[in-house]
Chains A and B, each alone.
Chain A
Amino acid sequence: MLQATKKWIFQKIGSVIMVPFMIWFLINIISIFSGSYDEVINFFTSQPSKILFSIFIVSMFFYSALSISEIFEDYIKHENAKKYANLGVFLSSLIIPIITIITIIYL
Chain B
Amino acid sequence: MKDNNPISPHIQIYNWHISSLVSISHRITGVLNYLLLILVCFWVISLMFGPENYQYFKIFSKSIVGKFFIIGFIWSYIFQILSEIRHWFWDMGYGFELKTTKITGVLVILGSFTLTIVLYLFNGVLI
Q: What residues of chain A have their CB less than 8 Å away from a CB belonging to chain B?
A: 12, 15-16, 19, 22-23, 25-31, 33-34, 36-38, 40-41, 44, 57, 60-61, 64, 67-68, 71, 74-77, 79, 89, 92, 96-97, 99-100, 103-104, 106-107
Contact = CB atoms under 8 A, between A and B. Distances in A.
Contacts of B37: 57, 60-61, 64
Contact of A97 (B31, B41, B84): B41
B47 to A, nearest CB: 6
Interface stretch (B13-21, B69-77, B94-102): B69-77
Is chain A's interface secondary structure helix, strand, loop, or mixed overall?
A: helix
Contacts of A106: 48
Contacts, number: 101
Contacts of B84: 15, 19
Contacts of A71: 27, 30-31
A92 B51 contact: no
A107 B48 contact: yes
Contacts of A60: 33-34, 37
A63 to B, nearest CB: 9
A-B CB proximity, top 3 nearest = A64-B34, A74-B8, A37-B51
Interface string B27-61: 10011011001101100110110110010001001
Nearest to B82: A19
B47 A41 contact: yes
Contacts of B45: 99-100, 103
Interface residues of B, number: 43
B74 A22 contact: no
A60 B32 CA distance: 12
Contact of A64 (B30, B73, B124): B30
A29 B73 contact: yes
B44 A100 contact: yes
B12 interface: no
B44 A103 contact: yes
Contacts of A96: 38, 41
